[in-house]
Chain A
């Protein structure tokens, strides 16, 4: 499986170069060797540290990372070496996670440290070292020359806390004290954590203007809570609170209403509808890109991604809009393949969750899988105009150090849980 995924990744690199200039650029071999070496290194680490782990997750992650890397080389060649560096750092984090966490249950005891760390990471961009990087979204932290997006790491840390917390509180939160129709209602005070999560994600949305992370955190919380208690009252309350939050944000926050307006009217070129000139231009262009890809795409390296974002002005092409560029070049069939790959990650993740022998492992695997799938759905839906666009990365594929780093740790944790289950 791994060999096949490396072959596909390398084929992406070669094809992109080949079709653009009909010869392969000389430094390509260097990148190919480096990427292959990294992939094999990770594989050896799994073999030694988690020999009975899930056989699919790692090859899929490598395939997506390699595929994304090929596209970043094509879309923003100057970012290519940086991305390879990030993949290398991600791989180090991956191996370190496998080496340090020998049994996922030992993470359970640090749950409140994880909570504090998670909240701190979430709110860090609001502190003086926070930076907007001029994109109107306050989710970066500057440390010297490096800009880091702490929300990416916060999601993994909060999933760890949630799993630990709910594993111990599951029983009291499941007990129903009142009934409304067919719905059993748990005691009102158990809704407290739900409100806390709601407030936290609203704060993220309001102060950091990060719609994507905000939605992701709330989804993570509600779904894990539902998985732990199997009480639909929590899920229902979550949906109601989410709708309320969306409604309020739409009416009161300009950056939210522009997003939704741009989603509904992407074709209006003037400022009549949304108050900003060309608010929906990016969405319209990405729809054109996906459309011109047709059934099988233009071929790798032959699309026109520069039209999505002329002159790479906003810098979102290799991150948020990478899926549109990919869609143009590999077409409908190719994008379905990408969707299937994320679907496979979800299937494996929930499979690991079901087979884990302890509640903490089950809930942790559920939470981590929810993060990856919801994030992939949010951005793919946003780019294809199924959902309002939220700036968030496509896991493993998009350019971005924090995202690659956090997702490799996430996969390492899933692999660790899957390894534990086989030892009976």
Chain B
């Protein structure tokens, strides 16, 4: 077998190996950032107007390995691992005092309290107090809180 053919085959084989790795890395990457979807200008613009009607009355908290809990939105709600939080969470990815929900002039807001892993409102990271509406989803750590009208 001429050497030149063998050398070509050798490089071809290595190229094939790296083609596999490149495709695998692509899958990992897509998994991390999520598939590319047209990005709405405002993170919350794609909320259907119908769902926004009515004022938030309660939140439904779904925590890993735990039964679902419901909290009425009457007073300020704090999320965290600390005992003093109204929504006390036993979640490794939640900070001691993680986030809070408060109402101002009849609108409810969610605010991150300098948590390690961040607070997400409909998959968008909360950087400043953001207004919430019925149907929104707040995520802290692995826990999801859904805003309900009733």
User: Which of A's residues lie within 8 Å of B, judged by CB?
Assistant: 1, 4-5, 7-8, 11-12, 15, 18-19, 22, 55-56, 59-60, 63, 171, 230, 296-297, 299-300, 302, 330-331, 333-334, 337, 340-341, 344, 347-348, 351, 357-359
Known: A4-B19, A18-B1. A344 touches B6 (CB 8 A): no
Contact between chains at A302 and B6 (CB < 8 Å):
yes
The 10 closest A-B pairs by CB, nearest first: A299-B10, A22-B1, A337-B17, A4-B20, A340-B21, A8-B16, A299-B6, A344-B24, A56-B24, A19-B6
Known: A19-B6, A296-B11, A344-B28. 10 other contacts (CB 8 A): A4-B19, A4-B23, A7-B16, A230-B92, A297-B10, A334-B14, A337-B17, A337-B18, A348-B28, A359-B64
Give chain A's interface secondary structure class: helix
Contact between chains at B27 and A330 (CB < 8 Å):
no
Interface residues of B in 1-56 (CB under 8 A from A): 1, 6-7, 9-11, 13-14, 16-21, 23-25, 27-28, 31
Contact between chains at A333 and B14 (CB < 8 Å):
yes
The count of A-to-B residue pairs whose CB atoms sit within 8 angstroms is: 77
In the complex, what residues of B have CB within 8 A of residue A11's CB? 13, 16
Known: A230-B92, A358-B64. A19 touches B27 (CB 8 A): no
Q: Is B65 an interface residue (CB 8 A)?
A: yes
Closest Cβ–Cβ distance, residue B33 to chain A (whole Å): 13
Chain A CB within 10 Å, residue with most, of B17, B27, B65: B17
| Closest A residue, CB atoms, query B1 | A22
A302 to B18, CA, bound (A): 21
Contact between chains at A60 and B9 (CB < 8 Å):
no
A300 to B9, CA, bound (A): 9
Closest Cβ–Cβ distance, residue A28 to chain B (whole Å): 16
User: Which of B's residues lie within 8 Å of A, judged by CB?
Assistant: 1, 6-7, 9-11, 13-14, 16-21, 23-25, 27-28, 31, 64-65, 90, 92, 142
A60 to B27, CA, bound (A): 13
A-B contact pairs, 18 of them (CB 8 A): A1-B24, A1-B27, A7-B16, A8-B20, A15-B9, A19-B6, A22-B1, A171-B90, A297-B14, A299-B7, A299-B10, A337-B14, A337-B21, A344-B24, A344-B25, A347-B28, A348-B28, A358-B65
In the complex, what residues of B have CB within 8 A of residue A18's CB? 1, 9
A358 to B64, CA, bound (A): 6
In the complex, what residues of A have CB within 8 A of residue B7's CB? 299
Closest Cβ–Cβ distance, residue A399 to chain B (whole Å): 21
Contact between chains at B13 and A15 (CB < 8 Å):
yes
In the complex, what residues of A have CB within 8 A of residue B18's CB? 337
Known: A8-B16, A299-B6. A357 touches B64 (CB 8 A): yes
A337 to B13, CA, bound (A): 11
In the complex, what residues of B have CB within 8 A of residue A340's CB? 21
Closest Cβ–Cβ distance, residue B91 to chain A (whole Å): 11
Closest Cβ–Cβ distance, residue A301 to chain B (whole Å): 9
| Closest A residue, CB atoms, query B25 | A344
Closest Cβ–Cβ distance, residue A304 to chain B (whole Å): 15
In the complex, what residues of B have CB within 8 A of residue A357's CB? 64-65, 142
